[in-house]
Structures are given as C-alpha cells and as structure tokens.
Homo-oligomer: A and B are copies of this chain.
Amino acid sequence: MSDQNASIRKNLKVSMIVIGDEILNGRTTDLNGSWLAKYLFKMGLEFKALRFIHDDIDEINQALSASLDESDIVITSGGIGPTLDDKTKNTLANFFQKKIIERQDVADIVTNNYIQFGRSWLPSQNHYHFFPEDFIATNNPRGLAPGIVYFEKSRNKLMMAGPGVPREFTEIVEKEFFPLIKKYFSDRFQENYQTVLRTIGVAEETIFFELCPTLWTELEKFGKVSSLPHTIGIDIVISYHGNLNEHEKTRADIQKLVQNSALAKHVWQYGNKPLNEMVLELAIQKKVTFSLAESCTGGLVASKITDLSGSSSVFMGGVVTYANETKIDLLGVKPKTIEDFGAVSIEVATEMAAGAILKFKTDYAVSITGIAGPTGATADKPLGTVIIGFATKNKTQARRFLFPGDRIRRKERFSDMALMTLLKLMNDEI
C-alpha cells in the first residue's frame, strides 16, 4: 500500500476501442466507455486508454495495434452487426491473419441468440456464421450478433469485440467476456478500493488552499487523491489497493483525519452513494413518505426518485406546476402571494410545500421554484436563483440558493439541492 504506483502496475491493463462513425460525428453519445471504466475499476482491472475511431479498416488496424502494445486485453465495441458499415469482424480476421470460414458452431450460437427473442434464424438472413478460424464466438445475451474473441498465445493478449448498443455491450462484457478474462489471466487479479468524501457548500480552492492546506498531502499517504466538482459540491476521492480489511481500516483512518479537520462540517457523506439512493434508503428505513411540488425543475426531482426501484413505497407523487394557475389550482397557493412576492419567492415556495403535504397526505413535502434561464431574471432574482421550500407535520419553511450553469445544468443543481433538503429534513438537520 505504501508503494502505490508499483501496486497499480501489477494490474491487468485493458484498452478499449469504440468503433463507429456515429460517435465521432457526434450523432450518438458513447455510453459503453464510461460504463466499462466503472466496471473495470470494480473488477480491479486498470483501464489504460479508450480510443474512438471511425468504421474504417486502417483506423481499426492502427488502434488495435497500439492498444495491443500497451495493454493485456483489448475490448472493442461496435461494428459487429449485419449491415455493410459493420467492418469489425473482417478487419480483426485480417489483423490476426485468420481466414473467415463458414462455422457450424457459430451458426448454433446465432440460432440461440435469435431464440431468446422468440425468433428463428436462417443462414440466408445474414453472414453471422462466417467467422474467423481459431476465433471464439460468444453468446450475445441481449442481442443477435455473436461476440468475437481471440487469444493471441504468442504475446498473451486477449482481443474481444462486442456490439455497440449499450444494453448488449454491458451484458456481453459481464456474462461472456469477463469469464474469459478470468480464464486467460486467472492469477493476476487485485482489488482496488476508494474512500470518497462528499462535501457541500465549499469551493475546491477554499478546501485545499484555505480551510485545510495540508489535507491533500495527508490524504496522499493513503493512496491516490482526486478532487471532483459535482452538481452541488466537491467530492474528494482516495483510491488504493489492498484487501477488504485493509480498506475498512483505511476508510476509518481517513474518516478520523477529516472529522478532526475544518472540512468536517461540510462533509455530508463518507461514501459513494448517489443522492437519490440516500434519500430513498433513509425514507424506507424511517418509514416516512414524501411528495414534491416542482416548478422550474419540471419533474426532474420526481424522475430522479423514480429512477430507483422501490420508490413507490415512500414517494406518493408530485405535481409539476409550471404555470401560476396550476400552482393556485393544484397546490392552493394564494393568487395574492404570487402577486405580492412573485412566483419565485420564499412565500410561494412555502405555500407550494404546504399544499403538497396536504394534497398527498405525506410526512414531508419539498417544493422548488426558481429561474433556470435563459430568460426570466430580474434585478433582485438573477438567473440561477432557486427557492427550496419544505413542509413537515410541524413546520413550513423555504431557503434561497444561487447556482451557476445553463438551463439544463441549473435544473440538475436545483434538483440535487431539493434532494439534499429532503435528506437533511428526514435526518432532522433542518
């Protein structure tokens, strides 16, 4: 653990090549790269590099050659479908100087892939069963095209080509590719852990240059340190190798260090759980219900909550009251309050929360009204102003915040601040 870099270098290295014109011309956002980064980290493998290239034979050859030089394992995504722009299979065969032949074992796999969708496959439909000799074909648990794998014995390199569609790619990597990695490199796994300090209400620079000038160096004794700005705060991540016991000791040591520092009061979580999960788990644990009244976030807070299975047991529902009339009709906000103070005001946010808790008969209600932009700002209410209101059985209140960003990013920040309010509310911290 003391020689951090040495221990990292012992790891298995993986490079990824994302093949597809649609990614490089910006039509599609790649999701497989970021997913694989998370997955490999969890599995204790080192993600060496990620290349995005066109559906082009020369580019595939070049990227493959560079990736195989630097890594033990190369995973590609994209270009294994049946259409004419799918060039991966032929290019890989040529690269490893293997002939493409008609293979019955591959035809069987393709037949199975089709069966899982209740469909039948005929060799006349496409060329899936023409496959490079000595290559391994794998099942595709959520798609039709087989995975394409080759282990180069002479250099101990494993090449694996999967589909570009994210739901197919993630599943083929977990169910088919990872077992093969374990098989070919069984003795080289090593565990990797992180301790995350999630802070709120303090800028990155303030933490490391004013509040705790020695913190970075002290944390580096435990492992590699990164500082990551998030929607409404800064996460500090410390990564290290070791077993689970060592990890638990390291995490406790880090926690002790930080709890005795000026940063302590800004840390809202020693861990890595998304805010919506924290809210849902706490509500379930405390057996309480909540509801939402959203104006400027337009349903995003409710959507974040309902992203999680099990949310229906504690989240009774919400209203998106974008228009003033609906604030009045659905939540009982008084027209005069809107007239006197404006829709974005402490007073309206308070009445919205009070209306929601009554309407949905919940233990808590949170309301959001603000100016996401790009229009709607006034002299005393600049773009990014948001009022988060809340109601419990005993009190109703609201607080004002200001966040940077464009419309979309402000909606994100406003929503996370609403979730944070709900979390603090259930923890009796406000």
Contact = CB atoms under 8 A, between A and B. Distances in A.
A301 interface: yes
Q: Which of A306, A373, A408 has the most chain B CB atoms inside 10 A of its CB?
A: A306
Given A52-B49, A306-B322, A204 B83 contact: yes
Given A34-B26, A81-B204, A237-B22, A317 B306 contact: no
10 contacts: A23-B37, A26-B41, A33-B52, A49-B52, A84-B217, A144-B205, A165-B229, A167-B404, A297-B306, A309-B374
A66 B83 CA distance: 31
A134 interface: no
Interface of A: 20-30, 33-34, 37-42, 47-53, 55, 59, 63, 66, 81-85, 125-126, 142, 144, 165, 167, 194, 196, 204-205, 208-209, 216-217, 220, 224-229, 235, 237, 239, 292, 294, 296-303, 305-307, 309, 311-312, 315-323, 325-326, 329-330, 359-361, 372-375, 404-409, 411
Given A81-B204, A226-B22, A237-B22, A411 B320 contact: no
A297 B226 CA distance: 35
A303 to B, nearest CB: 4
B360 A167 contact: no
A220 B315 CA distance: 51
A49 B220 CA distance: 33
A228 B318 contact: no
Contact of A226 (B21, B40, B292, B320): B21
